[in-house]
Chains A and B, each alone.
Chain A
């Protein structure tokens, strides 16, 4: 589902964010990208939905070479990917419902279909009762779940989660992982970036460890 071949990413002249990264993530996998902060996890995720382009190397997502994708097809790539951002990226001046409805509109859904979809994803993350709340009035865990709900609006083939439990206590983190597993069980390929190696070891069947921009370990359960 996601393949990288000898990917390098250099910022400016000499900041090497990623060095010779090659990886394979299969369809339907629940994979982890583990590593300390600053290791290049977020950059790697951004390459997948082409928010960044690599300095060199090739990236294939869902069978298509991301770098050879013409600009006008970029929206189509992104519509197959759900992203849970580290900082959530929720609009503070709009209620939860509007935050999600924005995606429905971008996807070109009709009003009724859009409302139904919003209701559906909110039910899935257990926040139906919060639809009309402004995000900053929600707890951290709830905001995280809104971010997940938004990433699910397009029924993505791939779900990328950047530190989805970064600032949650263990109990809430377990909740979030239960949710991600549920999503994965329905066939969505999930890639979670985390600095928490224990967490990755505990939940991951496929753990890629990133250090200073290099993949230092590619562990696959049962292989």
Chain B
């Protein structure tokens, strides 16, 4: 059994060697397909990680009317805190807000000189429950809050997050459809390569059949050949992608996984890498099977 498997594997590798350029063409096509899919995956993954981080940072800010009374303030805080979507509420007084603003203006505090009264309103900073961090839920919450007594204005990174989410969805869609199209293309190319390989070895196959080879004995090497081509293509793509990723990080002077606290700069997770390799191998095997069963029916 081991003997036979080793033979089959040796056969497949020898045949790959004989296939030469046409074999490389299939590996190359699969690599291109997976490279493009990989780029989209990597970009969407990083962008959605960034979006998550931004969402966490960009909390909903409820600016308060300057004339709000202390008891009214306490009541309002309670009301907001009781809201299901709200995870935590922090009060920032006018003075604190001014301090923070000054810190941000560091070195240019003179800009604030001449302002008689503190112009910055007090506010509540809200942290939002994970499941409510969708554009729709945030919009709804903001609408509700802005109708409350003593609320001047409600702000959140609404449009920004909406736009980001929309871009992300479009990217996912493009990635998916391009990947699908290229997947089909590589299927056809592998099946074509294997067909050429079968033609090139027609004599050998005929002899094998005439001396009593079973279908499996004849087909297995071709199947394995496709499997290896597919896996190698996906592997090559992942290698290139990883290299490009490291170079990009280096150019941006970021360390892996840690990039200005935005969750940017991580490579595809191991599960995605394994899936891509498996899908590549499966594409190769299926492409090969298509040709083999069509040409070796007898």
Query: Which residues of A come within 8 Å of B, CB atoms?
Result: 49, 51, 72, 74-79, 83, 89, 91, 102-103, 105-108, 110-111, 150, 153-154
Q: For B7, give the chain A residue with the smallest CB separation.
A: A105
Q: Residue on A with the closest CB to B10?
A: A105
Question: In the complex, what residue of chain B is closest to A83 when comparing beta carbons?
Answer: B210
Is B3 an interface residue when CB atoms closer than 8 A count as contact?
A: yes
A78 and chain B: residue at smallest CB distance: B212
Complex contacts, B3 vs chain A, CB 8 Å: 110-111
B207 within 8 A of A: yes
7 A-B pairs with least C-beta separation:
A78-B212, A79-B212, A106-B213, A75-B212, A75-B214, A103-B211, A110-B3
Which residues of chain B come closer than 8 Å to A74, judged between CB atoms?
212
- The reply to whether B212 and A154 contact each other, CB–CB distance below 8 Å, is yes
User: In the complex, which of the residues A76, A111, A150 contacts B212, with contact meaning CB atoms closer than 8 Å?
Assistant: A76
Report B1-37 residues with CB < 8 Å from chain A CB: 3-4, 7
Overall SS of chain B's interface: helix
Residues of B near A79 (CB, < 8 A) are 211-212
Question: Of all chain A residues, which has the CB nearest B206?
Answer: A89
Contact present for A91 and B204 (CB under 8 Å): yes
What is the CB-to-nearest-CB distance from B255 to chain A, in angstroms, rounded to a whole number?
A: 52
Tell me the smallest distance from the CB of B3 to a CB of chain A, in Å: 5
Give the bracket for the number of chain B residues in contact with chain A: 10 to 19
Distance in Å from the Cβ of B21 to the closest Cβ of chain A? 17
For residue B53, CB closer than 8 A to chain A, the reply is no
A78 to B7, CA, bound (A): 22
Residues of B within 8 A of A103 (CB): 211
A78 touches B207 (CB 8 A): no
- Flag whether B95 is at the interface (Cβ < 8 A): no
A108–B4 CB distance below 8 A: yes
Whether A75 contacts B206 by the Cβ 8 Å rule is no
Answer whether A102 and B212 are a contact pair too, CB < 8 Å, given A110-B3, A111-B3. Answer: no
Chain B residues closer than 8 Å to A49, beta-carbon distance: 210
Task: Say how far A161's CB is from chain B's closest CB, in angstroms.
Answer: 14
Given A89-B206, A110-B3, 16 more contacts at CB 8 Å? A74-B212, A75-B213, A75-B214, A76-B212, A79-B211, A83-B211, A102-B204, A102-B207, A102-B208, A106-B208, A106-B211, A106-B217, A107-B211, A107-B212, A108-B4, A111-B3
5 contacts between A and B (CB under 8 A): A77-B212, A89-B207, A89-B210, A107-B212, A154-B211
Complex contacts, A110 vs chain B, CB 8 Å:
3
B113 CB–A CB distance under 8 Å: no
Residues of the A chain whose Cβ atoms lie less than 8 Å from the Cβ of B207: 89, 91, 102
Chain A residues closer than 8 Å to B209, beta-carbon distance? 78
Tell me the bound Cα distance from A4 to B29 in angstroms.
53
B61 CB → nearest A CB, Å: 75
CA distance in complex: A79, B4 (Å):
18
Asked if B211 and A153 sit within 8 Å, CB to CB, the answer is yes
CA distance A184 to B66 in the complex (A): 115
Given A72, A78, A107, which contacts B210 in the complex, CB threshold below 8 Å?
A: A78
Max chain A C-beta neighbours (<10 A), residue from B4, B210, B211, B213: B211
Nearest-neighbour CB distance to chain B for A222, whole angstroms, equals 34
Q: Would you call B203 an interface residue if the criterion is a C-beta within 8 Å of the partner chain's C-beta atoms? A: yes
Distance A106 CA – B218 CA, assembled complex (angstroms): 9
Residues of the A chain whose Cβ atoms lie less than 8 Å from the Cβ of B204: 91, 102
CB neighbors of A among B211-262 (8 A):
211-215, 217
Bound-state CA distance A105–B204 (Å) is: 13
Given A106-B213, A110-B3, A111-B3: A89 touches B203 (CB 8 Å cut-off): yes
B7: chain A residues at CB < 8 Å are 105, 111
Residue of A nearest to B18 (CB): A93
How far is the CB of B268 from the nearest CB of chain A, in Å?
41
Which of chain A's residues has its CB closest to B213's CB? A106
Q: Nearest CB to that of B208 among chain A residues? A: A106
Expressed in whole angstroms, the minimum distance between the Cβ of A59 and any Cβ of chain B is 17
Q: Which residues of A contact B203 (CB under 8 A)?
A: 89, 91
C-alpha gap A151/B207 in the complex (Å): 11
Q: How far is the CA of A13 from the CA of B206 in the complex (A)?
A: 26
Q: Which residues of A contact B212 (CB under 8 A)?
A: 74-79, 106-107, 154
